[in-house]
Structure 1
Amino acid sequence: MTPDRFRIHPLTVLATVLLMALTVLWGAASPAAAHDELVSTDPPAGAELTALPEALTLTFSAELLGGDEANQVQVTDAAGTALTDGPAVVAGTTLTQALAGDASGSIQVVWRVVSSDGHPISGEFAFTVTPPVPAETPTATPEPIETAQPTPSAEPSPAATPISDEDAAGAADPLPWIVGAIVLVVVIGLVLYLLVIRPRRARAGSGTRDGR
């Protein structure tokens, strides 16, 4: 039989096991707890902006290690176009990344830095850029321009036909009219003589001869 002084109480064993488990868990969690954390971003995650900001700023819980090349930020639009302008700049607990370009829609940010314990940490977030729609400028309706009605011009009078010297001379000289009148009288007299006077004389002469 085992002496009573060598017996181990079950509660003692259980307490020892729990203590060892807590020690192991604490030791495993300590390195992870030493990593720095991202405290804030400007612009913040999920922000809705009307234009792409000039720079993106990340603030961490402790100073970052390594140079600018070890701490990087990638910023892309929905089409995958890079919007970064030069390398990121580290200053203590902040990391600043200059931005450039025309962007709209969802903007994706992926960062990777070296924390104060020497371990790299990374993460990502997104914000949205929605440019404002330009207001339509109302088009002024042009006022109708009154067109001056043309003033009716007087129709030109027909030009007088110039009278030639011969026509003027003929109109002014009465001699042809006198000659024509004499000829007409002679013709009429000749006709009367032949048709009236001469037959009467002939009948009168024959009557005289019969009386003798």
Structure 2
Amino acid sequence: MPPRTTRRTAALLVAGALAFGPALPASAHDELTAVSPEPDSDLTAAPAEVALSFSGEVMDIGHQVRVTDSEGRSVTDGPLEPEGNRIVQPLTEAGTEDETYRVVWRVVSSDGHPIEGTFTYDVGSGAEPTPGASAPAEEPAEQAQDAADRAGTGNVPLWVVAVAGGAVALAVLGLVALVPRLRRRD
């Protein structure tokens, strides 16, 4: 292979790596890494808060954490408190009586996609859900999706930027390779 062709091939490979390499880690959604209280745990007293930690800093839009008792009543007390890659939902003082609590959460990942989950924990012996008790699982999901949709209208996904950047880099390299040929014809 002539040296000129080798350099062009190497330049194309480097441009492709620079254009597409940085986009690879961004394709993964953030994940829930820690929860307090832990799912399915048995506690002697109700906690003062529910804390969720994530693998990345979630977007500061559409956070939803609902904590309800076995009758479907909310036990949250005040707004969520974001702390970097952690969000904290303060709870009312529920005491030490037997109760089962349900946590429904949804946040917007740093890549703009909503992630969600549900878990329960017991205080004392727990309690059976009351028949007909409302489970507000859909409301946080709908609100977080709406927030993610609003945030996404002005933001372009990172993979689109990477593909466009790669295409521009390849086009520039193609022009760089074509210019000497055009000069030779003149």
Normalised to the residue count of structure 2, the TM-score between the two structures is: 0.50
Q: Larger Cα Rg: Structure 1 or Structure 2?
A: 1
Tell me which of the two structures has the higher relative contact order, counting C-alpha pairs closer than 8 angstroms and 6 or more residues apart: 2
